[in-house]
Amino acid sequence: MGVAVIKLKNPPVNSLSLEVLTEFVISLEKLENDKTFRGVIVTSDCPGIFSAGLDLTEMCGKSQAHYAEYWRAVQELWLRLYLSNLVLIAAINGVSPAGGCLMSLTCDYRVLADNPKYNMGLNETLLGIVAPSWFKDTLVNTVGHRTAERALQLGLLFPPAEALRVGMVDQVVPEDQVHSTALSVMAQWLAVPDHARQLTKNLMRKPTADRLVKQRDADIQYFLRFISRDSIQKSLRVYLDKLRQKKG
């Protein structure tokens, strides 16, 4: 039925490095241009981890030029995913904090494996950073304003049952059924004529995407100012050190 599977593979935690973001955009563009494909299942090849989100090492201790290049790549992937003409279904087979959760929120439908460890949410505040307005918009458009307001301020990571309750995911299924469920949901979405579904998707999502498109450079400048602050760099270093020391 013209369905591709994009399996993220950037061990150990599928962090969204500049290289991963760039390759993801290229793969998506190829699929968009190949008319034999109508849908994509986005999933992970890293056991237990859908994606650890944006790569913290790309936002810490680097040059301004690097931050700018990285942020443009984050924007680009979000725009491509959010406005894709393809049906995108996230088969979430692991934990998905922050950017990992955002990636799934850009999809049209989310199936999450029923494993209490597989938390998801925008936990940026717990790192001492702030989810940008378009991350916030994506969450609001999925779960509504009040749930998003609370989740964003507290940096909540929802276990599967809670994620389902607040509407962050559409279905929670046993782990070994995530892929087959994504495939059967895909069949349902592909039963709708493409042009009508695509126009409707655009109607729902373009106003949100346009807010970023209209001020992409300003958004990059804003990010640069924010991420370069000494206090923010310090927060990121402390968080990364904590992650690294966890093992030791």
Ligand X SMILES: CCCCC/C=C\C/C=C\CCC/C=C/C(=O)SCCNC(=O)CCNC(=O)[C@H](O)C(C)(C)COP(=O)(O)OP(=O)(O)OC[C@H]1O[C@@H](n2cnc3c(N)ncnc32)[C@H](O)[C@@H]1OP(=O)(O)O
Site residues (CB under 6 A) for ligand X?
A: 12-13, 15, 49, 52-57, 95, 97-99, 123-124, 127, 129-130, 132, 222-223, 226-227, 240, 243-244, 246-247
User: In this chain, which residue has its C-beta nearest to ligand X?
Assistant: 53
Residue 111 near residue 92, CB atoms below 8 Å = yes
> Closer to ligand X at the Cβ: 102 or 186?
102
Told to judge if 86 belongs to the known catalytic residues of this protein, a careful annotator would answer no
* Length of the chain (residues): 248
Write out the DSSP string of 27-69. HHHHHHH-TT--EEEEEESBTEES---B-GGGSSS--HHHHHH
Tokens encoding 16? 């969204």
Q: How many Cβ atoms sit within 10 Å of the Cβ of residue 60? A: 17
> Closer to ligand X at the Cβ: 31 or 127?
127
Least Å distance, CB 34 to ligand X, is 30
Least Å distance, CB 145 to ligand X, is 17
> Closer to ligand X at the Cβ: 209 or 227?
227
**Catalytically annotated residue among 124, 139, 212, 236:** 124
Amino acid at 198: Q
Known catalytic residues are 54, 99, 123-124
